Structure 1
Amino acid sequence: MNQVVLRVAITLGTIFGYAAVLAVLGMSYLWLVGLLYVASIFAITAFMGIRAYRRGSQQAREVVKGKLLFDINEKDVNKAIEKDKELPNEMKKLNRTFMIYFMSFPLMLAGIWLFPALQSAVVPGVSGALQQSLGHFLATYLGYVALFAAYTAIFSPLYYFTFKPVQFPIIATDIKVYDTGIVINKNTGLKAPIQIQEYRYYPERKFIELKMNNQIYRIYYKDIDKVHEAVSKMV
């Protein structure tokens, strides 16, 4: 499933789900919504991780049936990394960017403070306007839907554009390149043709990068030009 479609589906599901909890139980159970939010994050993360692992393992079993072109181990990677003089500065820059996430704490506090104010304004207004035509429960439910929709509309774009996700490249230490694809760190298979969002080649720094979804795989090798020649035909 497309990542954008998946995120929209999850967002809509949480809006309607949390609204149902408060419509049935009332605002006194707002703590339950918070608990469900944390639980849903862990559940979705675990589900996506398990699915990615299974898909990668399955593709790895298929890829290894092909002809082995390059077998790159940790020693090879470390030798190539030693020649990448820009890596320390790159890591420092990424770490500084990552620290920005800690600045999101005031934003979270603002959201917690604003939620009751939104609730007192949005829910009575929407439910009051719809109660005569839809009845008390459905009007209240739609009031909470409007509340969570407004909250999401305010804070999701603000958080995303202020604190964009930082993607640290995964430096692979065990890479096997076959004519049928790539196996990274033994259990992640990328079967050709490899579906990626971006492919980068840095001959002076001795690595290539493959960006897919929320992961960036970086492959270092002394003869990276030869690896690039083989991998570029798979993407």
Structure 2
Amino acid sequence: MSKKRYFIQLAYDGSLYHGWQIQPNAITVQELLDKAMSVFFRQPIETLGCGRTDAGVHATDFYAHFDVEGIAETKVLNAISGINAMLPYQIAAKRIIPVHDEAHARFDATARAYKYYLHFQKDPFKVNRSWLLKDKPDMELMNQAAALLLNYTDFSCFSKSNTQTFTNNCKITKAVFEADEDGLVFTIQADRFLRNMVRAIMGTLVQIGKKEINLDAFKAIIESKNRSKAGQSVPACGLYLVKIDYPYIR
């Protein structure tokens, strides 16, 4: 029986982990998933994720691909409960999907969406889940600035420097704030994202909402392509990867 490729769909609370990708001296989601799957399938399993989430960032919809050899497809597809039994409660496997042999969790994704949560009153149930911001920003102003993002493609000003990307171009198709219980939620969707991009965008939009900078200054920051001109990155706790689109997965 030959090697077969699958996608695994996950959700995880990133509070305790140093991001998705395996690190030499820190516990990550990928490390724990690979260990659990290797034990279950009784062979070395190495996953490749749809992207990198930083330390403390969460995911409600995350995909990784992996190859398994010599195991019937029905057994692989029914492995979710067994894999979950070996994972900590902060990480949940949701489903396994058979895909073609060249399917790639990172490169085949056609769109990604994140949400960022803000709240304005101390809440013990939102610790590590949302960012507590003491002064409520102006949502209307932030939405005016967020709408401007759709007019640009080069987001160098919101990217970590010295990353191994060939281009800093992204196509943002949605960027909007909405009221959410006692806070706000920002939703942003694009074909791809740069390292730290959403958190840097949020930090700059909050400056708009606090009226520290205006819309012209926001446009000038984007056009500068200079990270030092943009706002600080907001805390990881409020950020969630919520949707990944593939042409062959429903």
After TM superposition, the score normalised by the length of structure 1 is 0.30
User: Greater Rg, structure 1 or structure 2?
Assistant: 1
More helix as a share of residues:
1
Specify which structure has the bigger relative contact order, considering alpha-carbon pairs within 8 angstroms and separated by 6 or more residues: 1
* TM-score normalised over the length of structure 2: 0.29
